[in-house]
Amino acid sequence: MDGGGGGGSTSGDDGKQEKHLVLAHKLFLLSHPDVDDLSKVDLRSDVLSAVKSDDMAPLFESLAAAGVLEPDAVLLSEMRARIDEEIRKLDEKIADAEENLGESEVREAHLAKSLYFVKVGEKEKALEQLKVTEGKTVAIGQKMDLVFYTLQIGLFYMDFDLISKSVDKAKKLFEEGGDWERKNRLKVYEGLYCMATRNFKKATSLFLDSISTFTTYELFPYDTFIFYTVLTSIISLDRVSLKQKVVDAPEILAVISKVPHLSEFLNSLYNCQYKSFFVAFSGLTEQIKLDRYLQPHFRYYMREVRTVVYSQFLESYKSVTMEAMASAFGVTVDFIDQELSRFIAAGKLHCKIDKVAGVLETNRPDERNAFYQSTIKQGDFLLNRIQKLSRVIDL
């Protein structure tokens, strides 16, 4: 499975991941403590090749300063010379288009310059030139494509402020029009942003809406998309929704086996096969750790998944022995004791441990009673307000 890792086409119609996002993922792995030194030698070679092929002088300079790549003044000056020459040619084309050609040719010339800045990794210049290009653009679809370029830049640099503003801008553009294909692609971009900023519930909704219309191969392959969809769904959906939208979804069933441990992870949870679930879960942890979008939330996700699975197990019992629960999960009684103590203290599980008897007693909140109490409180508050208002009116 390729990891989640901007300039070329905005769309992934050719089924290829945007090469700058592939590069971003390799840079992430290079800085990861869990990646072995031998793998990092290959990664460093791949990164240098990618930087050279696109003349990414600014990135090369920053990587050399950080000690990721070896400094090379000759290579840097050669790249800068090629960039200057290419920009001179692009400026000439813009001038020629403005003097001799129509508005669409002028726009295309400006777009070419924008994409060149994206290609060489000149972030600020690329964003500035994309704004200039937008000023020359009339069609909503073409304006949307410019937003997708901006989103890819944001994802490369993990600039969440830029991504958030771009998503909002795209939504405003869609109010003026826009086709369904681009709208569906935006859902995946927004879903990825939500997942990367720990809004798993919204990410799940957006990903599930896009399962049958997925075309954003520039971000990641379809099996990676399914990986994200299953992972976010497990901690966001109730059992009924999980069965209907994920476990039985034909689009997910078609590719889930391509991602190691993912099918066992999903199905063992739904089928209450807790030993198998923990085995699959441990197999998936490495993939989550080595994903640049999920890695910052690794510990949080681990806690949430365990909350889901422990809650599901306890849902069936009013009381259960610690030994029975430990046996169901294939772990020791001490492990379950320590785990549940932490979750109970954090308010994640509604139960209490009787250490003497070695029993867990659930004390799930009565939702109907809680709703009744809430309604009574709101009613009292409303009556008080009405009484105060009536006194004011009487005066």
Query: Over the stretch 220-253, which tens digit does the pLDDT of each residue have?
Result: 999 999 999 999 999 999 999 999 999 999 999 9
Lowest-confidence region among 20-34, 110-124, 128-142, 168-182: 168-182
The pLDDT, as a whole number, for residue 357 is 83
Instruction: Name the pLDDT band for 7 (thresholds 50, 70, 90).
Output: very low
Instruction: Name the pLDDT band for 186 (thresholds 50, 70, 90).
Output: very high
User: How does pLDDT run across 99-126, given as a tens digit for each residue?
Assistant: 888 888 999 999 999 999 999 999 999 9
Q: 210 with 277, same domain?
A: yes
Instruction: Name the pLDDT band for 13 (thresholds 50, 70, 90).
Output: very low
- Cα separation of 211 and 237, whole Å? 16
Domain for residue 115, yes or no?
A: yes
pTM: 0.85
Residue 300 reports pLDDT greater than 80: yes
Residue 191 reports pLDDT greater than 90: yes
Domain for residue 297, yes or no?
A: no
Instruction: Name the pLDDT band for 391 (thresholds 50, 70, 90).
Output: confident
Q: Which residues of 353-373 are buried (b: 16+ CB within 10 A; e: fewer)?
A: beeeeebbebeeeeeeeeeee
Indicate the average pLDDT of the chain. Answer: 89
Domain for residue 330, yes or no?
A: no
The pLDDT, as a whole number, for residue 1 is 54
Q: 141 with 184, same domain?
A: no
Residue 26 reports pLDDT greater than 80: yes
CATH number of domain containing 24: 1.25.40.570
Q: 56 with 105, same domain?
A: yes
Choose one of 261, 289, 317: the last residue of a domain: 289
Domain for residue 141, yes or no?
A: yes
Does residue 350 or residue 308 have the better pLDDT? Answer: 308
Domain of residue 63, residue span = 15-156
Q: 40 with 145, same domain?
A: yes
Q: 150 with 34, same domain?
A: yes
Token readout for 96 is 């020629």
**Mean of pLDDT values over 41-63:** 93
**Mean of pLDDT values over 4-13:** 47
Q: 28 with 134, same domain?
A: yes
Are 163 and 153 a contacting pair, CB within 8 Å? no
Q: 137 with 31, same domain?
A: yes
Instruction: Name the pLDDT band for 330 (thresholds 50, 70, 90).
Output: confident
Domain for residue 308, yes or no?
A: no
The pLDDT, as a whole number, for residue 151 is 96
Q: Residue 361: helix, strand or coil by DSSP?
A: strand
Q: 201 with 82, same domain?
A: no
Residues 6+ apart with CB under 8 A from 5: 17, 18, 20, 21, 22, 23, 24, 25, 26, 28, 220, 292
Residue 4 reports pLDDT greater than 70: no
Q: What's the gap between Cα 127 and its chain centre?
A: 22
Q: Residue 190: helix, strand or coil by DSSP?
A: helix
Q: 136 with 19, same domain?
A: yes
The pLDDT, as a whole number, for residue 92 is 94
**Mean of pLDDT values over 125-144:** 91
Residues 6+ apart with CB under 8 A from 256: 226, 230, 262, 263, 266
- Cα separation of 148 and 156, whole Å? 12
The pLDDT, as a whole number, for residue 14 is 52
- Cα separation of 337 and 218, whole Å? 46
The pLDDT, as a whole number, for residue 365 is 62
Choose one of 156, 187, 219: the last residue of a domain: 156
Of 75, 18, 80, 69, whose CA–CA distance to 46 is shortest?
69
The pLDDT, as a whole number, for residue 8 is 45
Token readout for 380 is 């009292």
Choose one of 125, 156, 187: the last residue of a domain: 156
User: How does pLDDT run across 267-290, given as a tens digit for each residue?
Assistant: 999 998 999 998 999 999 999 999
Q: 266 with 227, same domain?
A: yes
Neighbouring C-beta atoms of residue 271, cutoff 10 Å: 11
Share of the chain above pLDDT 90, in %: 64
Q: 118 with 188, same domain?
A: no
Share of the chain above pLDDT 70, in %: 94
Domain for residue 171, yes or no?
A: no
Domain for residue 65, yes or no?
A: yes
**Mean of pLDDT values over 344-373:** 77
Q: 69 with 99, same domain?
A: yes
Domain for residue 390, yes or no?
A: yes
The pLDDT, as a whole number, for residue 362 is 83
Residue 5 reports pLDDT greater than 50: no
| The total number of structural domains that make up the chain | 3
Instruction: Name the pLDDT band for 355 (thresholds 50, 70, 90).
Output: confident
Does residue 385 or residue 108 have the better pLDDT? Answer: 108
